[in-house]
A and B are shown apart, each in its own frame.
Chain A
Amino acid sequence: MHEEEVLGKAYDARLMRRLLKYLRPYRWHVAFGIVMSIVISGMEALRPYFTKIAVDKDIASGDKVGLLMTALLFLAVLVVRGLIQYANAYLTQWIGQRTIFDLRMEVFRHLQNLSLKFYDKNPIGRLITRVTNDVEVLNEMFSSGIVMVFSDVFTIAAILYFMFTMNLGLALVSLSVLPLLFYGTFLFRRKAREAYREVRLQIARINSFMQEHITGMLVDQIFNRERKSFEKFSAINGAHRDANIKSIFYYAVFYPGIDLIGALSIGLIIWYAGANALEGTVTIGTVMAFVQFNEMFWRPIRDLSEKYNILQTAMASSERIFQLLDDTSILSAPQTPAPFAHVNGEVEFRNVWFAYNVPSDGVQSPEWVLKDISFSIKPGEKVALVGHTGAGKTSITSLLTRFYDVQKGEILIDGMNIQHVKPQDLRRHIGVVLQDVFLFSGDVKGNISLGDSSISLDRVKAATRVVGAHRFIEQLSGDYDAEVKERGATLSVGQKQLLSFARALAYNPRILILDEATSSVDTESEQLIQAAIKKLLHGRTAIVIAHRLSTIQNSDKIIVMHKGEVREMGTHQELLSQNGIYRRLYELQYKDQEVKAPLA
């Protein structure tokens, strides 16, 4: 279970205050809404009052004209009330929608700023829930919730006022059941909360299961695992159902219980009226009005469980949202960032130590992924990183783009520590072609320009021509406008790599990082790209990661990584003569290729 799935308090003043801040820009709207609902509930309380007048005054005295006047007045009040009610319902929705729009954008913006460390820890499925469902849930609280609370409080106050001014004794008697009511509600709330918490937990599990298994459906199907996955899902689904059924029980007791207490109150009214009727302190009209008051008084309380739900969901959701907003895994941006408009492309790693996870106790030493890495690259040099998988090559590139911060040592570009400039300014100078290609749904053009309007279609076309992607793009219907599905599902993997390559070139960076950028591309395209890069990279710095030594042998410098350390450094020839890891790798790759035994 994740900490954030744990449900906090049902009502938390701190959270509430923070939530209310979001209403600030709309405070006049809220105020107006409250005024309107006060007017509405005032009018609501008038209804039994009209009944009393009709019965005690008009009917008792046989005044037919008076009765008509009372009825018409009543009608007028009703119509006005309907209009105000409509305006208010729309206004509250408007407030709610505006507020959650603001909140949603704040969450989204914050997510854009969070560092990759955060994304390593948080499943995408859960983050999506924050931006969509969790924010959505607050709608109810922001719209009807807040205003309704005021209106309910006021309704109750108005009813109490009418009751006490009409007949003190009757009012006290009919309210004598309140302690019972409070106790019942208290019990209910406690139980309902536990059940609710369980339901939330299971819903979250259903969501992550769906997200993962739909993305991986291909694997499920190929390996014939549908049955097993289904059983797993069914178990979660069943737990969700059972949690819900448990909470149904509490509601099933609560609602009739409230009604029963209401009936008790009516019984008491009748009894009291009977006892006091002879003294003439209680009129028939008063009794009838009290019966109606009783009904009206009970409605907000009856709704309470529902409002309680809204409140509870809102608290749980806002707690998770605020937790996200409070997450400070944002790379510390320098207070006064150094200007970084032009870069020559000199790169230096100085005694860099890095671990993805630093134990929080501070005692255990972290699992170092990079240990004491130092090297430097002159502007315009082409440097290759080689080494086994897991040696730390990709990690080096992630540090250079400042996806993560180093624990010890420093990284310099043109002599400037990269922590002293804005990450965005830094990244603008670096083009990365990642090992895992990611394409967005949209069109081909948009996937290369990524919506940057300063990148013209011609530049897009030129970039694709360099990597030879134009050949297949022109085959697509609509060529550069051709549709790209989610994650580029309808393109071949090699094609996706070519597009991602073209993307990096279109951005025209000073420093280019190629991480296994051509692993799924055929030899011809690869050589084409090599030739193009050579031409293109003239005067630019490049860091290339490749397993095929053929693609890197003409690098200015080759850095051999092993278990997070730099073990060898030099040109191809130098390294070969060193008789170390590089030489072994090289021999393994090219030894006796021609006489290798058959595969099967």
Chain B
Amino acid sequence: MKPLLRLLPYLARYKKTLTLGILTVVGSNLFSIVQPLFLGYAIDELKAGIESKIYVTSDLMLWAGLIVGFSLIAGFFTFLTRQTIIVVSRHIEFDLRNDLLSHVQKLSYSYFQNKPTGDLMAHATNDISAVRNVLGPGIMYPSDTILTFVLVLTMMLTRDWQLTLLALIPMPLVSIVVYRVSKIIHDRFTERQELFSKLTTRAQENLSGIRVIKSYVREAFETDEFKKLSWEYMKKNLVLAKVQSLLWPLMFLLVGCSIILTMYFGGLRVIDSRMSIGTLSAFMSYLLMLIWPMIAFGWVLNLLQQGAASMGRLTAIFDTVPEIRDTEKTNHSLTDIEGSIEFRRVSFTHKYAQQATLRDLNMKIEKGMTLAVVGYTGSGKTTLVNLVPRLYDVTEGELLIDGHDVRSYPLALLRSSIGYVPQETFLFSDTIAENIRYGLDNGDSHIRDAAEISQIEKDVAEFPKQFETMIGERGITLSGGQKQRTSIARAIMREPKILILDDALSSVDTYTEEEILKRLKNFMQGRTSIIISHRISTVKDADLIVVLDKGEIVERGTHDELVLKGGIYADLHQKQLLERELEEM
């Protein structure tokens, strides 16, 4: 139950409403608690009437009227209870979900690389709604239950304390059983939720990769795998059902025992004339009044256990400290970035990786210069550029921008100064304009300019609604090259001080690439840029070219220097020249 304590600050925000809500619970209980009393009086009166043969209708009418009247008032209070406590629970659900998203937004890149998407989605919906159940019904019913208990007990005790104690013999048993059972429910529920996450993740992967699955005719295999998981999930559910099914019959049985005890011992008293039949009737009514709270109690315990399990899962996310964030080391007096970048003995090891991906890098790029990075697949080029916008932090050494450690810049300033075109394109299902603008409020002419430079403009002109055309799930499908060019436009649109192109032209055809490069040349004037490419033609004019091999800089210099040196770069150059000559034959 401990995880639920985390909800206290949220509850505190709605203190007043909640207090009011609890008061209305008191109100509705007070007014419904006296109803059996009226009933008891009515029955006694009826009995007296039958025995004395005196007409009693008017008195009975009074009791009947009181019962209805009090029920009306109690009902009004119940109405208020729901309008306060349950409504608050929806507010807190809202707060909690917002907080979850804004926390997740702060988590660093490596977190998402290692966490399945389906898992996070399950948290935002299933787990939060389990917690919401604790907040609404989980507050309303227990306060209701406890109050009913206390009131009913006082009523009963003042009437006949011995009979009351007799009737309550089964109660301690109830609490022990409930405690035991709910503990088991908690554990099994957690296991079940975990399997549900797995199931979601499996479905998500299967559906995202459906093209591959169909190409390789793996449908049957995938179905089998999914079947195994579903089956296991079903079994987990049944194991949970085994204990859950126990709760209610047990409650019923125990309350039933109370009724029998009351009936027997109360009956003896009536026979011995130590108690009126009306009182016995009231007693029975009171016990019946306890049935619902008892059931609710078991149900609420169930809710609480599930809520606690879910909150535990949520807490695990909330407690993940974003690795990369503004800290006390952040220097808020830094408000501008010029664009010079320096790597000083930088090494980097990926999370959970065994070896370092980057080793002892040293280089300096002045403002406005172009750095080109080449190297074999997996040599660490992407990792290197990811250090600049702090998608990762260096594990050794320092990365300096304008002479300051990159970690001393406010994250927002740093990232808004960088235009990054990732190697893998991601666009949102929104309009093209929105994807390029992406949060900036610049005018449409800027969008056009950016689209012109990245050469997506001509394509866009042929789309049904031009820049307002929806893309992705709810719109048209772009080809790989079109996506890449949109992504380039998005980076350019921000007029960044530092431009990073990670193999950003790989899916663009030669002609278009040429056109883009021509326009970029102009745009990159005065901006620092880092370009990753496998093509000599793209990188040869850079001010500095570094060759990465297994995370180390093995060669550096200008194109001409490197060609003379006769290393990897020269070899690459040779190969690409050869290709060309072959073609010209």
Contacts and interface: CB of A to CB of B under 8 A. Distances in A.
B542 to A, nearest CB: 6
A288 B238 CA distance: 41
17 contacts: A97-B241, A113-B219, A221-B105, A248-B82, A262-B71, A277-B46, A278-B50, A287-B43, A295-B288, A434-B215, A495-B378, A524-B376, A588-B510, A589-B510, A593-B537, A596-B541, A600-B529
B377 A521 contact: yes
Interface string B217-233: 11101110111001100
B439 to A, nearest CB: 4
A230 B102 contact: yes
A226 B324 CA distance: 14
Given A59-B270, A206-B124, 5 more contacts: A67-B263, A259-B75, A390-B459, A523-B575, A600-B542
Interface stretch (B146-154, B205-213, B329-337): B205-213
Contact of A127 (B207, B370, B575): B207
Contacts of A71: 260, 263-264, 267
B534 to A, nearest CB: 5
B554 to A, nearest CB: 14
Given A82-B252, A224-B439, A438-B212, A270 B42 contact: yes
A89 B113 CA distance: 43
Nearest to A483: B352
Interface stretch (A26-34, A155-163, A422-430): A422-430
Contacts of A598: 370, 521, 541
B490 to A, nearest CB: 7
A74 B253 CA distance: 11
Given A86-B249, A223-B490, A599-B524, A93 B575 contact: no
B481 A390 contact: yes
Contacts of B241: 89-90, 93-94, 97
A524 B575 contact: yes
Contacts of A394: 479-480
Contacts of A190: none
B257 A104 contact: no
Residue from the set B35, B68, B242, B252 with the largest chain A CB neighbour count within 10 Å? B68
A523 B576 contact: yes
Contacts of A494: 377-378
A8 to B, nearest CB: 22
A274 B221 contact: no
Nearest to A114: B210
A49 B22 CA distance: 37
B222 A228 contact: no
Interface stretch (A10-18, A164-172, A334-342, A542-550): A542-550
Interface string B61-86: 10111011011101110110111001
Contacts of B268: 64, 67
Contacts, number: 510
Interface of A (DSSP majority class): helix
A75 interface: yes
A219 interface: yes
B248 A493 contact: no
Given A207-B121, A495-B377, A128 B428 contact: no
B426 A263 contact: no
Q: How large is the interface on B (under 10, 10 to 19, 20 to 34, 35 or more residues)?
A: 35 or more
Given A119-B210, A257-B75, A520-B423, A68 B264 contact: yes
A329 interface: no
A60 to B, nearest CB: 9
Nearest to B527: A600
Given A131-B203, A494-B377, A211 B439 contact: no
Interface in B421-440: 422-424, 426, 428-429, 438-439
Contacts of B206: 108, 111-112
Contacts of A100: 234
Contacts of A93: 237-238, 241, 244-245
B366 to A, nearest CB: 11
A435 B245 contact: no
B118 interface: yes
A125 B381 CA distance: 32
B445 interface: no
A78 B257 contact: yes
Interface string A565-600: 000000010000000000011101110010011111
Interface string A202-232: 0100111011111111111111111011100
Interface stretch (B12-20, B172-180, B396-404, B411-419): B411-419
Contact of B104 (A214, A244, A491): A214
A238 to B, nearest CB: 6
Interface string B523-538: 0110101010011010
B119 to A, nearest CB: 9
Contact of B124 (A210, A521, A584): A210
Given A224-B412, A389-B480, A436-B480, A252 B223 contact: no
Given A248-B90, A523-B576, A291 B376 contact: no
A94 B238 CA distance: 7
A233 B114 CA distance: 24
A550 B60 contact: no
A50 B264 CA distance: 11
A520 B503 contact: yes
Contacts of A75: 256-257, 260
A477 B260 contact: no
A264 interface: yes
Interface stretch (B160-168, B300-308, B446-454, B512-520): B512-520
A432 B215 contact: yes
Given A210-B120, A241-B94, A112 B263 contact: no
A266 interface: yes
Given A67-B264, A85-B248, A214-B121, A222 B46 contact: no
A522 interface: yes
A489 to B, nearest CB: 4
Interface string A505-519: 001000000001001
A245 B284 CA distance: 37
Contact of B217 (A230, A427, A526): A427
Contact of A224 (B416, B481, B575, B584): B416
B270 to A, nearest CB: 5
B190 interface: no
Interface in A383-433: 386-390, 394, 401, 403, 423-424, 427-428, 430-432
A477 B473 CA distance: 37
Interface in B88-122: 90-91, 93-94, 97-98, 101-102, 104-106, 109, 112-114, 116-118, 120-121
Return the 4 tightest CB-CB contacts between A and B, nearest first: A389-B481, A256-B75, A494-B377, A263-B71
A498 interface: yes
A112 B249 CA distance: 43
A438 B205 CA distance: 9
Contacts of A497: 377
B246 interface: yes
Interface string A69-102: 0110011001101110110011001100110110
A585 B510 contact: yes
B134 interface: no
B4 interface: no
A438 B222 CA distance: 15
Given A284-B50, A495-B378, A549 B97 contact: no
B20 to A, nearest CB: 14
B37 interface: no
Contacts of B439: 223-225, 228
B214 interface: yes
A271 B118 contact: no
A215 B98 contact: no
